[in-house]
Structure 1
Amino acid sequence: MIGITQALTGGCQCGAVRYRLKQAPSRVSICFCRMCQKAVGGYFGAFAGSALDDLVWTKGQLSIFASSEAAERGFCSSCGTPLSFSYRGSGRISVTAGSLDDPAAYPPTLAHGVEGRMPWFDDLCRLSGSSTEGDIPPGEIARYRSRQHPDQES
């Protein structure tokens, strides 16, 4: 895991919104509830939680959607990347774990909303697979060059 003395940073896909955590996340979780599924466009949301005061937005402006009376979700209005979740007034916020520059550093330790877990979810890791570049014909690789903001600021 990344030590709390190192910069813990992340941001959106296009790089318009960036953040830094002053401390390591206190809890990393996934949520299978239907609201999180729709918010991230996937089968679950993955979140790294911390005190609100430990999160600094270092670039750009976060856009907010109030997904319920209690909760709000932040995202980049330029590229649409989901970036945060918080219960209003709680003093806590979670960044989306996939938006961390090093998402592998903090594996989830807790699951929420398990009633929304797909019945076939346990089978996913047994699917056959290939690498990203393995699916692209060699003469086409240049067309697939990423325009995504690089992890870490240069």
Structure 2
Amino acid sequence: MTLLQGSCQCGHVRFTLSERPVDATACHCVMCRKQSGHHFASANVSKSAVVVTGAEHITWFQSSEKVRRGFCSRCGSWLFWEPVFRDWTSVALGAIDGATGVRLERHIFVASKGDYYDIADGLPQNER
């Protein structure tokens, strides 16, 4: 059963999710800010719940020893980030087509957030 579908901006990479994403998080770390241009919102699903069409257009960037980030090599859309030694992936909420059915649960790495905005939505904020 497909719950959600998504794609990159150019449509060369498409994905379907067979489970609803959980742990929706806005990350304010320097790496997410550099790559996205602001903070990055994503939620987690098991790797087995993700089916990708056009996977040959995904480039994986190893951003640290523990994490890699997947983006479309044609349009640059950031689609996934995943811990290397875990069985889940985090999907960019903005890449999902239509309503997601999830809500942000928390902000992380707020000690690294940009000075040009405030976080005022009342959600929990973790320094790291």
Q: Deviations over 1:64-121 (max 9, x none)?
A: 0001111100000000000000110211100111101125532211111111223442
Output the TM-score relative to the length of structure 1.
Answer: 0.70
Map 1:94-105 onto structure 2 (within 5 A).
Answer: 94-102=90-98, 105=101
Output the TM-score relative to the length of structure 2.
Answer: 0.84
Separation (CA, whole Å) in 2 of partners of 1:111 and 1:21: 23
The answer to whether the 8 A contact 1:27-1:50 is kept is no
Where 2:33 maps in the other structure, the secondary structure is helix
Q: Which protein is richer in helix relative to its size?
A: 1
Structure 2 residue ranges without an equivalent (≥5): 122-128
**Identical-pair percentage:** 32
Structure 1 residue ranges without an equivalent (≥5): 126-154
Q: 1:48 aligns with which of 43, 47, 53?
A: 43
Aligned to 2:68: 72
Separation (CA, whole Å) in 2 of partners of 1:110 and 1:124: 12
Aligned to 1:135: none
- Whether 1:107 and 2:103 are equivalent positions in the alignment is yes
Rg larger for: 1
Report how many residues are paired. 120
Q: Which protein is richer in strand relative to its size?
A: 2
